[in-house]
Amino acid sequence: MSEMRALVGLLKQIDDQLVACMRCGMCQAVCPIYAETGLEGHVARGKIALLECLADEIIKDPAGVKERLDTCLLCGSCQANCPSGVKALDIFLKARAFLTGYYGLPPVKRAIFRGLLKNPRLFDSVMSIAAKFQGIFTRPVNDMIGSSCARVFSDLIGGRHFAPLAKRPLHDLASERDAPRGFSGLKAAFFYGCVVDKMFPRIGNAALSVFDHHGVGVYMPHAQACCGIPALSSGDRDTFEKLVAMNMALFGDHDFDVLVTPCATCTSTIKKIWPLMAEGLPDSTRFRIREMAAKVKDISAFLIQDVGVRPVDLPVVGEPVTVTYHDPCHLKKSLGISAEPRALIAANPRYRLVEMEGADSCCGSGGSFTLQHYDLSKRIGKRKRDNIVATGAHVAATSCPACMLQIGDMLSQAGDTLAIRHPVEIYAETLTGR
Amino acid sequence: MANHLSQKFEEIVGKGNVLASEVDRHNYSYDAAVLPPKLPALAVRPETPEALGRVVATCNELGLPLTVRGSGTNLSGGAIPSVGGVVALTGALSKIIEINEADMYAVVQTGVVTAKFAAEVAKRGLFYPPDPGSQAVSTIGGNVAENAGGLRGLKYGVTKDYVMGMSLYDVNGELVKTGSRTVKCVTGLNLHGLMVGSEGTLGVFNEIILKLVPPPKASKAMMAIFDDLGKASETVAAIIAAKIVPATLEYMDDFTIKTVEDFAHAGLPTDAKALLLIEVDGHPAQVEDEAAEVEAICKRIGATRIQVAKDAAERNKVWEARRAALSALARVRPTTVLEDATVPRSKIPAMIGALEAIAAKYRLTIGTFGHAGDGNLHPTILTDKRDHEEFKRVEAAIDEIFDVALSLGGTLSGEHGIGTAKSRYMVKEVGQGSILYAKRLKAALDPKGILNPGKITGE
């Protein structure tokens, strides 16, 4: 019972945020999960009402509330559309941390977050061993998308068509670097993120070649730690804070102008969640984290706004390749960035952008949401797949490697043969094509 | 007991469609009104009209209070259930059954979302005008039950003007049909007229037949800013006197203007006393004429600034300020009490004066905006429901707002409904005789009193 008291005490800390919800219910119009289930407990208003009940000790069953809270993509659609400006994501992340403190982490997550994520070197070596052996357990199913499915262990992997681990991760393919500012006068620290490192090193290579081409000095240390969002969204604040501290030690005192990431989720986490969760930390740490948050930028925004990338004059042979762009929630809804990735794609005249319906509706990935709620995630993903395919485009592009995984799974399962690319890859093709 | 009850409803709607856990019950205990929640025994989600009918019959058999819920956006407590009652969710009954372009009507199930329906209608080149503020989520069933209004009320009317007929379940679960797909129909009692605005107290809607109209070919929007409230209301009166009926004629007071400007930076002058948003629509030539005339009236009466939208982008900008009004106000304090007392349009200046006096008397912040053209203002009280002393003053202020509205020949509610929030004021407006009449009607149709009890006429 004393733990329940402590939980109530913690929830009272966010009372001011909870009370801002006026129950208008407008979040029902935009929540991807509510669109599938129609259940009040799955939409922000319903979750906030339950948290208020828990804080007021009207609800005696925190497990039921936790289950509802976990049924959320953290896509931020509700927050972006809330008439009264309720900070739903802040609320949900904090409440998840409180409830996980109450119940503890499930053993598998504990093993992954505390054993692996907190230990970047160990994480790297485990994954490199896994990359060598994955062919034994899985088989390739779609050459265009590059996906695989389970050969054995299918009960663990389910029917997923997933992108395999890269044979060699980025941190193995590209050496650490710390080059001075080039002719652009800019120096970028490159935070490549776990998924790019281990699954899509080609995106990292594309980014590095673009930086070189435009005379951007790059600081890229290895042993980068995860941005922390998988741990925090599972309520593991302790691991999250350690990961932030590791990254701060690696990047905090270094000289660079912009912290660039090719991952929408990493960008949004560093920009918004790091300072949010630093509220209780000592002044000096908080200040440094805020400075880092101010420096982080999505790679497309950096290339268009700071480097000044413009359409490249290239001969176009034949019809241009059609490409449709999916707005990751963490880029458009969280940070308002939607024009720059499109501008980066448009910089390659060999591509023609065709908009899909609902380009900014969630793909259903939600990070580890897809692991816990695969069926729901798949239903949401299917809509995205249908919208992509309806454009007739050859290529699906997006700025978040996690969305790329989800979209790849959905397209591959439907037998579609679209290629999936990051805008920086599409732009990088202009460098070799001249 | 609870288990037994769940089982009984599971037989009707299927296992996954009975929601009876602690969190589910709390999730269906409230709507958008600032009222205390009430915990139902369970919620059910029928997927077929037949299942809905059986839910109604079963509730009646067992004497269980039944509240139908669309999206739970009601502002007067209409969707708040009775303690221990049953909530019937209409989310799975959301088919658009027919849109008939030749005869200009549509048939829908009650759970269809208003904006989705309006968009489908627009795709076929027709127009469904009622546009309540919650249209992005509200359902047609809820709109009909509350007789929802919106911004276009002045010219196009409200939900009741578009209901041609319906089928509904009576308290025994028998299907009742009323009205038809024809423009004219005098077959039988006008029961659908009775159902509109009945707030779920007389029957449970199944399918609704809605009138559609051709969309206007052109429209023109403008914003007029005034340094004096009197001039703004004089302008409203002069526009109507000139026999011009704008599609929308919206008002915003000085506090709302300042708050919107702080929030949205739409370029509004913060020293303005009042703002009117006017849009005329119809045939292009008529729109040009009327827009010019409205502009001339605004100038003659002394608007300090008039901004006529030249294209769609500018029109959007003009409307941005109005759309931001509630959002901007809602962010000022934790609790937002949105009222909708309505007066004859000529009494708007008196009403606005009274609202200012009430705000001062009870030391409250009230921002007022709303539909000046039809007298339906939204005095919005910004408060914190956790501050009990302040909330008492809020309640006293609401009492007085109603008194003033009634003394000016107005009404308690223009479009939000009576629900439980305003049932105790009913007698002041309609008198004891009307309440008795309504209660007798209800008793005859619903002898056990299970249909959304306590709404409109009180317990």
pLDDT digits (tens, 9 = 90+) for B179-196: 999 999 999 999 999 999
Tell me how far apart the alpha carbons of residues B219 and B311 are, in angstroms, rounded to a whole number: 10
Radius of gyration for the alpha carbons in chain A, expressed in angstroms and rounded: 21
Asked, for residue B442, whether it belongs to a domain, the answer is no
CA distance A23 to chain B (A): 5
CA distance A150 to chain B (A): 31
Tell me how far apart the alpha carbons of residues B404 and B261 are, in angstroms, rounded to a whole number: 30
* 8 Å CB contact of B334 and A28: no
Q: Evaluate if residue A81 carries a pLDDT over 80.
A: yes
* 8 Å CB contact of A25 and B32: yes
Predicted confidence band of residue A153 (pLDDT cuts 50, 70, 90): very low
- Taking each helix axis from N to C end, the angle separating B254-264 and B312-330, rounded to the nearest 10 degrees, works out to 100
3-class SS of residue B17: helix
For B:383-422, CB contacts with A below 8 A are 384-386
* Backbone φ, ψ for residue A62 (5° rounding): -65, -25
Q: Which residues of chain B have a CB within 8 Å of the CB of A20?
A: 331, 334
Q: Which pLDDT score, from 0 to 100, does residue A155 have? A: 47
Of the candidates B236, B159, B149, the residue with the CA atom closest to the CA atom of residue B413? B149
Predicted confidence band of residue A13 (pLDDT cuts 50, 70, 90): confident
| Percent of chain A whose pLDDT exceeds 90 | 72
Q: Report the predicted TM-score, pTM, of the whole model to 2 decimal places.
A: 0.90
Lowest-pLDDT range, A289-293, A390-394, B26-30, B320-324? Answer: B320-324
- Run of H or E including B292: helix B284-301
* Residue ending a domain, choose from B407, B434, B450: B407
Q: Which pLDDT score, from 0 to 100, does residue A433 have? A: 58
Q: Evaluate if residue A308 carries a pLDDT over 50.
A: yes
Q: Which pLDDT score, from 0 to 100, does residue A157 have? A: 57
Asked, for residue B80, whether it belongs to a domain, the answer is yes
Q: Evaluate if residue B263 carries a pLDDT over 90.
A: no
Q: Which pLDDT score, from 0 to 100, does residue B323 have? A: 82
Higher-confidence residue: A370 or B259? B259
- Run of H or E including B257: helix B254-264
Q: Between the CA of residue A34 and those of A28, A325, A431, B52, B282, what are the distances in Å?
A: 6, 24, 44, 22, 38
Of the candidates A293, A292, A325, the residue with the CA atom closest to the CA atom of residue A394? A325
Q: Which pLDDT score, from 0 to 100, does residue A158 have? A: 62
Q: Which pLDDT score, from 0 to 100, does residue B79 have? A: 98
Q: What is the ipTM of this complex?
A: 0.93
Domain identity same for B195 and B251: no
Mean confidence (pLDDT) of chain A: 90
- The residue of A40, A48, A58, A72 whose CB has the most chain B CBs within 10 angstroms, and thus the best one to mutate to test that interface, is A40
Domain identity same for B276 and B402: yes
Q: Is residue A268 within 8 Å of residue A331, measured between CB atoms?
A: yes
Q: Which residues of chain B have a CB within 8 Å of the CB of A40?
A: 24, 27-28, 72
* Residue ending a domain, choose from B70, B89, B108: B89
CA distance B418 to chain A (A): 17
Q: Evaluate if residue A156 carries a pLDDT over 50.
A: no
Sheet holding A419-421, edge to edge: A351-353, A321-326, A395-398, A419-421
Domain identity same for B137 and B231: no
Q: Evaluate if residue A127 carries a pLDDT over 80.
A: no
Residues 6+ apart with CB under 8 A from A134: A148, A164, A165
Domain identity same for B335 and B365: yes
* Residue ending a domain, choose from B68, B89, B110: B89
Tell me how far apart the alpha carbons of residues B281 and A100 are, in angstroms, rounded to a whole number: 56
Across the range A384-410, mean pLDDT stands at 96
- Residue B67, chain A, CB below 8 Å: the answer is no
- What chain A holds in terms of domains, given with CATH numbers, is 2-103 (1.10.1060.10), 310-432 (3.40.50.10700)
Q: What is the CATH number of the domain that holds B130?
A: 3.30.465.10
Lowest-pLDDT range, A356-360, B284-288, B369-373? Answer: B369-373
Domain identity same for B368 and B255: yes
What single-letter DSSP state applies at residue B383? E
Higher-confidence residue: A38 or A151? A38
Domain identity same for B224 and B100: no
Tell me how far apart the alpha carbons of residues A235 and A101 are, in angstroms, rounded to a whole number: 7
Give CA torsion, residues B144, B146, B150, B153, to 10 deg.
80
Across the range A153-160, mean pLDDT stands at 56
Total domains in chain B come to 3
Q: What is the domain extent for residue B341?
A: 218-407
pLDDT digits (tens, 9 = 90+) for A21-54: 999 999 999 999 999 999 999 999 999 999 999 9
Tell me how far apart the alpha carbons of residues B406 and B413 are, in angstroms, rounded to a whole number: 10
Mean confidence (pLDDT) of chain B: 95
Domain identity same for B69 and B176: no
Domain identity same for B338 and B280: yes
CA distance A393 to chain B (A): 25
* 8 Å CB contact of B330 and A53: no
- Residue B299, chain A, CB below 8 Å: the answer is no
pLDDT digits (tens, 9 = 90+) for A226-278: 999 999 998 899 999 999 999 999 999 999 999 999 999 999 999 999 999 99
Tell me how far apart the alpha carbons of residues A33 and A35 are, in angstroms, rounded to a whole number: 5
Tell me how far apart the alpha carbons of residues B135 and B249 are, in angstroms, rounded to a whole number: 19
Asked, for residue B434, whether it belongs to a domain, the answer is no
Interface of A with B (CB under 8 A): 16, 19-20, 22-26, 28-29, 38-41, 46, 49-50, 53, 58-61, 64-65, 67-68, 83-85
Domain identity same for B248 and B309: yes
- Run of H or E including B281: strand B274-282
Predicted confidence band of residue A61 (pLDDT cuts 50, 70, 90): confident
pLDDT digits (tens, 9 = 90+) for B288-304: 999 999 999 999 999 99
3-class SS of residue A128: helix
* 8 Å CB contact of B326 and A83: yes
3-class SS of residue A384: helix
Domain identity same for B103 and B79: no
Radius of gyration for the alpha carbons in chain B, expressed in angstroms and rounded: 23
CA distance A98 to chain B (A): 18
CA distance B182 to chain A (A): 33
* 8 Å CB contact of B28 and A24: no
Tally of CB atoms within 10 A around B357: 12
Across the range A207-212, mean pLDDT stands at 98
Read off the amino acid at residue A364: G
Q: What is the CATH number of the domain that holds B299?
A: 3.40.462.10
The CA-based angle A425-A431-A434, given to 5 degrees, is: 135
Residues 6+ apart with CB under 8 A from B357: none
Q: Which residues of chain A have a CB within 8 Å of the CB of B37?
A: 49
The partner residue sitting opposite A68, judged by closest CB among B23, B72, B92, is B23
Asked, for residue B444, whether it belongs to a domain, the answer is no
CA distance B377 to chain A (A): 19
- The token pair at A277 is 């969760």
Tell me how far apart the alpha carbons of residues B306 and B293 are, in angstroms, rounded to a whole number: 13
Q: Which residues of chain A have a CB within 8 Å of the CB of B34?
A: 22
Domain identity same for B12 and B36: yes
Across the range A104-121, mean pLDDT stands at 77
Q: Evaluate if residue B270 carries a pLDDT over 50.
A: yes
Asked, for residue B180, whether it belongs to a domain, the answer is yes
Q: Evaluate if residue A1 carries a pLDDT over 60.
A: no
The residue of chain A with its CA nearest to that of B24 is A41
The partner residue sitting opposite A49, judged by closest CB among B26, B115, B336, is B26
* Backbone φ, ψ for residue A420 (5° rounding): -115, 125
Q: Give Cα B452 to chain centroid, integer Å.
A: 18
Asked, for residue B27, whether it belongs to a domain, the answer is yes
- Residue B20, chain A, CB below 8 Å: the answer is no
> What's the sign of the alpha-carbon dihedral A402, A407, A408, A409?
positive
* 8 Å CB contact of A46 and B27: yes
Asked, for residue B188, whether it belongs to a domain, the answer is yes
Asked, for residue B453, whether it belongs to a domain, the answer is no
Q: Which pLDDT score, from 0 to 100, does residue A367 have? A: 75
Strands (E), A62-214: 138-142, 147-150, 177-178, 186-190
Across the range B196-200, mean pLDDT stands at 98
Q: Between the CA of residue A24 and those of A89, B33, B75, B335, B391, what are the distances in Å?
A: 18, 8, 8, 11, 20
Lowest-pLDDT range, A136-140, A212-216, B55-59? Answer: A136-140
Q: Is residue A153 within 8 Å of residue A191, measured between CB atoms?
A: no
End-to-end CA distance of chain B: 25
Of the candidates B400, B384, B191, B260, the residue with the CA atom closest to the CA atom of residue A19? B384
The CA-based angle A255-A261-A262, given to 5 degrees, is: 150
Higher-confidence residue: B197 or B228? B197
Q: Which pLDDT score, from 0 to 100, does residue B134 have? A: 93
Domain identity same for B239 and B364: yes
The partner residue sitting opposite A28, judged by closest CB among B26, B137, B331, is B137
b/e burial code for range B285-307 (CB count within 10 A of at least 16 → b): eebeebbebbbebbeebebeebb
